[in-house]
Amino acid sequence: MNNPSISFGPDRQLQARMAITMLLLGVLYAVFVVFLLQLGAAFALIFVSVMVLIQFWMSDRMILATMHAKVVSEAEEPELHLMVTNLSTKAGIPKPRVAIANMAVPNAFAAGRSQKHATVAVTKGLVEMLTKSQLEAVLAHEISHIKSRDVQVMTYASFFAVVASSLMSFFFFMGLFGGFGGRRGGSGGSYIMVAYIVTIVVWVLSQILVATLSRYREFSADRGAASLTARPLELASALDRISSTVSKVPKNDLRKVETMNAFFIMPAIGDSLASFFSTHPSTMRRIEELRKLAASMK
């Protein structure tokens, strides 16, 4: 289990994509702030900022509570703690807290506002389903997120998406009840309409960019995990195993389906459109990338 780590070096293409995405987000947000200030909505901006800050400060406790996860001691889960200790030492970060969520669905996540206040959580379903080395690979992925400060980066990146989302509701109700008008030469109604449309556009674009950035950071965390464990294929097999329990590939035998003449209706939203807003890359692509890393080790 305690393998030496290996460095795959930075993926320049991935780094460039992340930089471009962040730059686009920066430009979008700058334009949005200027627009809000022009509109005289500085108060709304400050109010939402404070709310987001509080949310960020308490994020780990909130997520753990939502997921019904409990922080476990070394005495309760010695093996899990040993893995996290080894991986965080290799990654050069303080050891995060370890939590277990009492859920059958296999999953894992990292939370916390800083490396010092980080928590790594796994679900019971994940612990039961994976082998030790697969579990170690998944934990390494989460440790990589903490090392890269992904929680913070994504919080900053999605800050104005949250602002836009809040303002969308705000402008919608303002327009609905006819307020906000009259201050600017009697054209309040059209101002609200313009503000509403701009916030929708900003929200949609920021959602796409944030999701894109998130997908890149997932690839980056996979790469980091491969470096920490020196076994990219363990993470690939863990992802494969997890996805096989939740994927859309049918389980029913073709013979039974055809005998029953069961003709299923497809989901209305296509895969390509859904993937646009997805915060995680497809498992297949992640496995492909991990296979490439494994091949590069030979």
Partner 1 sequence: MWNLFGKGSLSNPSWNSSLAYLEENKTFIEVELATKNSGFAAVIVRAGEVGDAENFKNRIIDALRNHNEINVATVKFKDDELGTTWIFVEDQDLSQNLAGIGIIIHVLESNDLYDRLIGAIFPFDWFDSLREKSIRLYWIFQSRLNRFTPFVPVGDSEDRLRDQPLETRMEKAMRKRIPTEKKISEWYPIWGIPQLD
By CB under 8 A, tell whether 254 contacts partner 1: yes
Identified binder of partner 1 from the candidate list 13, 38, 66, 259, rule CB under 8 A: 259
| 269 lies in the site for partner 1, by CB under 8 A | no
Which of 91, 207, 90, 72 lies closest to 145 in space, CA to CA? 91
Whether 218 sits among the annotated catalytic residues: the reply is: no
Judged by CB under 8 A, which of 32, 287, 289, 293 binds partner 1? Answer: 287
How far is CA 281 from its chain centroid?
10
Given the complex with partner 1, which of 140 and 287 has the nearer CB atom?
Answer: 287
Q: β-strands 97-101, 119-123: how paired? A: parallel
Number of helices followed by number of strands (H, E) in the chain: 12, 4
Phi/psi for 68 (5° steps) reads 55, 40
Contacts of 246 (CB under 8 A, 6+ apart): 105, 106
Minimum CB separation from partner 1 for residue 86, in Å?
26
Tell whether the torsion through CA atoms of 11, 14, 17 and 21 is positive or negative: negative
For partner 1, which stretch binds (CB under 8 A), given 54-62, 68-76, 90-98, 235-243?
235-243
Interaction mask 215-234, partner 1, x per CB under 8 A:
------------------x-
Verify binding: residue 240, partner 1, rule CB under 8 A: yes
Determine the interface stretch with partner 1 among 56-64, 186-194, 217-225, 258-266 (rule: CB under 8 A).
258-266
- Please select the residue that binds partner 1; options are 92, 116, 186, 249, rule is CB under 8 A: 249
Given 74, 76, 142, 288, which residue is catalytic?
A: 142
Q: Are 134 and 110 in contact (CB under 8 A)?
A: no
Tokens of 118: 């980080």
In the list 43, 256, 268, 269, the residue contacting partner 1 (rule: CB under 8 A) is 256
Confirm or reject binding of residue 268 to partner 1 (CB under 8 A): no
Long-range CB contact pairs, 180-185, < 8 A, 24+: 183/40
Q: Do residues 142 and 63 make contact, with C-beta atoms less than 8 angstroms apart?
A: no
Work out whether 12 is an interface residue with partner 1 (CB under 8 A): no
User: Which residue in the block uniquely carries the two structure tokens 């994509």?
Assistant: 17
**Candidates 14-22, 50-58, 73-81, 288-296 — which segment interacts with partner 1 by CB under 8 A?**
288-296
- Active-site positions read 142
